[in-house]
Amino acid sequence: MVKSSVLGYPRIGANREWKKALEAFWAGKLEESELHAQLQDIRLNHLRKQQEKGISLIPVNDFSYYDQVLDTATMFGIVPQRFAYSGGAVPLSVYYGIARGTKEAAASEMTKWFNTNYHYIVPELDGATPALTENKPLAAYREAKEKLGIEGKPVIIGPLTFLKLSKGYKQSEMDGWIDKLLPLYTQVLQELEREGVQWVQIDEPILVTKWDAADLQRLNKIYSHFAAAVPGLNVLLQTYFESVEQYSDIVSLPVQGVGLDFVHGLSGNAAALKQFGFPENKVLFAGVVDGRGIWKASLREKLALIEELSEFVPADRLIIQSSCSLLHVPVTAGQEQKLVPELKGALAFADEKLDEIVLLTKAAVSGEASIAQEVEACESALDQLRQSAARNRKEVQQAVAVIGAQNPVRNLPFAERHIAQQNKWNLPLFPTTTIGSFPQSAEVRKARQQWRKGEWDEEKYEAYIREQIDLWVELQEEIGLDVLVHGEFERTDMVEFFGEKLAGFAFTQFGWVQSYGSRCVKPPIIYGDVAFEAAMTVEETKYAQSLTNRPVKGMLTGPITIMNWSFVRDDIAREQIAYQLAYALRQEVEALEQAGIGMIQVDEPAVREGLPLKENDQAEYLDWSVKAFRMTTCTVQDTTQIHTHMCYCEFHDMIDSIEAMDADVISIETSRSHGELIHSFEENTYKLGIGLGVYDIHSPRVPGVEEMTSMIERALRVLDPKLFWINPDCGLKTRGAEETIASLRNMVEATRIARNQHALQV
């Protein structure tokens, strides 16, 4: 009989109870015992919900006190040496120390979990002597059974994925590490087997990325070892986020179940299934409900998909489940009160997805007629959204079709417009600037809240923002910066600000998802055709420009960043969404230019985040991302200078695309990975204007002049001095005013020294 399952459930709680408990504990407002009690409540609540909805195989050990990768590391006693840990159960203070840093020791690095916006703590293997400190999956299994009578499915990150995501060892030491970890994993599994566990889910999402013959040997070794050690335990090898590479090797591994993503990896996995079939002795865990998107599934389409799958796998070997953990979607759409009905009706967050999975399973068991009503209701909800005015803005669709067919290029190539721009702007050698935002003091945030609540009227708020602009324009002049900004005081968030002013966006009240640790984000939803309605940034920028003779840069968030930091509709390609955004933002660029703003920065810090997992798909994504950026910026005059900004450091593999964006000036974060980036410029020459961040804005420390001059000198060894700009790493909104002013003064002084030195050399 067909059964249902999910891969994991969000841990944050419908009202972010989890986040609140963690933060209260960190602030010393909650005893450790109280934290354990509160988190247990939350955990049991989530299990109960899945039980009541009727999920047959409920995941346990998907819950965490911070992050599941960190859990795996500490379960195996892998703690960086700087935390003075000497074995045994890892205390909570050490656990949170690794995640967040302590007075004595820096936190471990954090990085993106595959292509999601979830960030995990990178395990550091150097110097670690792994040992099993506690069997977490076993404890989770027992708890669910004792408290709720649930026969849970423990979830564990698989050895190959765990090692590949870790750092602090050489490639040649990989096999040695497998030998060290294998006995520990085995002990965990043996204890589960002894306890009577039926299924264990071993996550190996790394298998959807490229892996090689040596990895296949490793997989064989690992899973044969398990097969021999725990013959009575059913092992589910779970993959997600894409189709697997080397399907036939994977389904031949000695495991009892294989989990495949039939949403994000649909075409690849379905094709492989058709070509190679599915082994008769295994269970297929079919991820048919999108675990990452927020939209209702078309039950009709899903039924057809399940029908197709059942040609290859009989009912008693088929499990219907989400495509990945529900960690990546908000908890429930039920609480939303402010969304238009056609949008609300088409949403499915975690809880609604549980219902979908249960319904589809019911249909697979008792026939489609058993859910006929629900299918109809679902299709009609989806239809309503499809037919809504928001999704049918003909003028946008037509305009985007027209400009999408054009090749967006500036009138003149860079070398020529650079001359025109130099003539117009007369900037000194190594112009100095900032990335856009200035400190958002408690006062600024409070003013914005008062205005949002209606306690301040428009006029009062605008006057307040203008005062801030006055203050900071004067400061920038006094510090001696060459290109100024207005400071972004009117913005809480660089995506939300534009989303609220463009048509096609919606904002939920409770749609939070975990980004890392206790940090949650509430992404906007792009649910309709995106349209420009009225100028969004012109007033503030124009005002700032009226206060000074130096150029003020207009400041926009780029199309790809807006898209990558939002939940987006799934009825049209992401490429099309990007072009709609580009078309809307282009109108803002033009409005700024018409208002006399001659430098316009279009920030794209999130381009890299959208990079597809499959290498084969990356070039295409980068191509249309570059095109969207150019579409946004290509219509300006030759003398109008287009800037862009990117954070994050892994640029070496996309420098060509960055260059192809054809921005007159780019500012990039580099101070945390300076050597690496400089190195990539040794190999690739960059021919446009570029500013390398000369100091790290993520710390309140005021960097010294010398530090920055040496940074500048090193950069000038590989970059053309005539194209070189000097700026901090990123926006300054999280910094204090005092340290910002001191740091910028030092930066300007470092620039003066660099200019003098350069004059002596030539």
| Interface pick for Zn ion out of 730, 744, 747, 750 (rule CB under 5 A) | 730
3-state class of 636 per DSSP? Answer: coil
Specify the residue, 98 or 715, whose C-beta has the smaller distance to Zn ion.
Answer: 715
Site string for Zn ion, 606-645 (x = CB under 5 A): ----------------------------------------
DSSP structure string for 297-328: P-HHHHHHHHHHHTTTS-GGGEEEEESS-GGG
Q: Alpha-carbon distance 156 to 162, whole Å?
A: 10
Check: CB of residue 614 under 8 Å from CB of residue 395: no
Chain centroid, CA 320 distance in Å: 27
Instruction: For ligand GLN, give the closer residue by CB, 11 or 119.
Output: 119
Query: Residue 234 is encoded by which pair of tokens?
Result: 């059913």
Sign of CA dihedral 480, 486, 491, 496: negative
Q: Does 98 bind ligand GLN (CB under 6 A)?
A: no
Stretch that binds ligand GLN, among 435-443, 542-550, 690-698, 744-752 (CB under 6 A): 435-443
Q: Rounded distance, CA 320 to CA 56, Å?
A: 10
Q: Which of residues 120-139 bind ligand GLN (CB under 6 A)?
A: none
Considering only residues 577 to 606 of the shown chain, the ones binding ligand GLN according to CB under 6 A are 603, 605
Write out the binding residues for ligand GLN, residues 301-360 only, by CB under 6 A. none
- Residue closer to Zn ion, measured from CB, 309 or 730: 730
Distance (Å, whole) CA 699 – CA 219: 42
Encoded amino acid at 216, one letter: L
Of the listed pieces 189-197, 328-336, 432-440, 578-586, which binds ligand GLN according to CB under 6 A? 432-440
- E strand or H helix at 9: none
Q: How far apart are CA 620 and CA 626, in angstroms?
A: 10
In the chain, the N- to C-terminal Cα span, in Å, equals: 81
Residue 288 interacting partner from ligand GLN, Zn ion, none (CB closer than 5 to 8 Å by kind): none
Ranked by CB distance to ligand GLN, the top (closest) residue is 731
440/709 with CB nearer ligand GLN: 440
- Helix crossing, 394-404 with 574-594: angle to 10°? 90
Choice from 244, 531, 647, 668 touching Zn ion (CB under 5 A) = 647
Tokens 């300007």 found at: 748
Q: Which residues in 584-613 contact Zn ion (CB under 5 A)?
A: 605
Q: Is 556 in the site for ligand GLN (CB under 6 A)?
A: no
CB-based contact 680:638 (threshold 8 Å): no
Residues sharing a CB contact under 8 Å with residue 470, sequence separation 6 or more, in sequence order: 547
When the beta carbons of 317 and 645 are compared against ligand GLN, the nearer one is 645
Name the residue nearer to Zn ion (CB basis): 95 or 565: 565
Residue 486 touches which member of ligand GLN, Zn ion, none, C-beta under 5-8 Å by kind: none
Least distance CB 605 / ligand GLN (angstroms): 4
Q: Which residues contact 297 (CB under 8 A, 6 or more apart)?
A: 288, 289, 290, 348, 353, 356, 378
Q: Is the CB of 438 or the CB of 505 nearer to ligand GLN?
A: 438
* Residue 630 neighbours by CB distance under 10 Å: 21
Size of the site for ligand GLN (CB under 6 A): 13
Report the alpha-carbon distance of residue 108 to residue 261 in Å, rounded. 31
Find the part of the chain contacting ligand GLN (CB under 6 A) among 176-184, 372-380, 429-437, 568-576.
429-437
∠ CA 397-401-407, nearest 5°, is 145
Decide the pairing of beta strands 119-121 and 153-157.
unpaired
- Name which of residues 457 to 516 contact ligand GLN (CB under 6 A): 488, 494
Tokens (6 digits) for 337: 């009160």
Q: Which of these segments, 135-143, 179-187, 430-438, 576-584, binds ligand GLN (CB under 6 A)?
A: 430-438
Using CB under 6 A, pick the residue from 733, 741, 744, 750 that binds ligand GLN: 733
Residue 556 sits in the site that holds Zn ion (CB under 5 A):
no
Distance separating alpha carbons of residues 342 and 334, to the nearest angstrom: 14
* Residue number with CB closer to Zn ion (408 or 559): 559
Q: How far is the CB of 541 from ligand GLN (least distance, A)?
A: 12
Mode of pairing for the β-strands spanning 3-5 and 641-646 = unpaired
User: Smallest distance, Å, CB 649 to Zn ion?
Assistant: 11
Active site residues per annotation: 698
Among 435, 626, 654, 741, binds ligand GLN (CB under 6 A): 435
Residues that bind ligand GLN (CB under 6 A): 435-437, 488, 494, 555, 603, 605, 645, 647, 730-731, 733
Residues that bind Zn ion (CB under 5 A): 605, 647, 730
